[in-house]
Amino acid sequence: MRASGRKGQKGMADKKSDETSTGKPKDGSNQFQPGGKFAPTNDRYEYEQGMESLPPQERELVKELTNFADLCKYFEEHDQKLDPSVARAMSEAAKLPIEERIARIREINQKLMRAVNDAGEGAKFRN
């Protein structure tokens, strides 16, 4: 086994991150690192708890964006490509005020859900 697999020893990447992490972000980019305010999480429960701390409108927006991300993941896992109009619609939605943005993303999600359902029904007939 290599040194990076030994207990108590850190690999080069770990040492580098320790050296640059001072506890105070220089330019805000450390907020996206593990332990930072915007660090990624693989724990859905932890993610949803974090969402609960958001103001109501932001929480609703994040909920719809999470649903969109889940739908995109579903399409990717099933080797189905999204129509380019979806990307354009999301880009346009990003320019809207938050209430309208939430409604528009919800509409996009509903269209994607119909596509998922239609694909499921078609699969039943093909088998």
How far is Cα 89 from Cα 112, in angstroms, rounded to an integer?
A: 12
Residue with tokens 């660090």: 39
Q: What is the pTM of this model?
A: 0.62
Q: Answer whether residue 36 is part of any domain.
A: no
DSSP summary character for residue 32: G
Q: Answer whether residue 80 is part of any domain.
A: yes
Q: Answer whether residue 103 is part of any domain.
A: yes
Q: Answer whether residue 8 is part of any domain.
A: no
Q: Answer whether residue 93 is part of any domain.
A: yes
Domain count for the chain = 1
Q: Answer whether residue 119 is part of any domain.
A: yes
Its domain, for residue 96, covers 56-126
Q: Answer whether residue 35 is part of any domain.
A: no
Give the model's confidence band at 39: pLDDT under 50 very low, under 70 low, under 90 confident, else very high: low
How far is Cα 69 from Cα 73, in angstroms, rounded to an integer?
A: 6
List pLDDT tens digits, range 72-126. Answer: 999 999 998 899 999 999 999 999 999 999 999 999 999 999 988 887 754 443 3
How far is Cα 65 from Cα 70, in angstroms, rounded to an integer?
A: 9
Give the model's confidence band at 69: pLDDT under 50 very low, under 70 low, under 90 confident, else very high: very high
Residue 18 has pLDDT above 60, yes or no: no
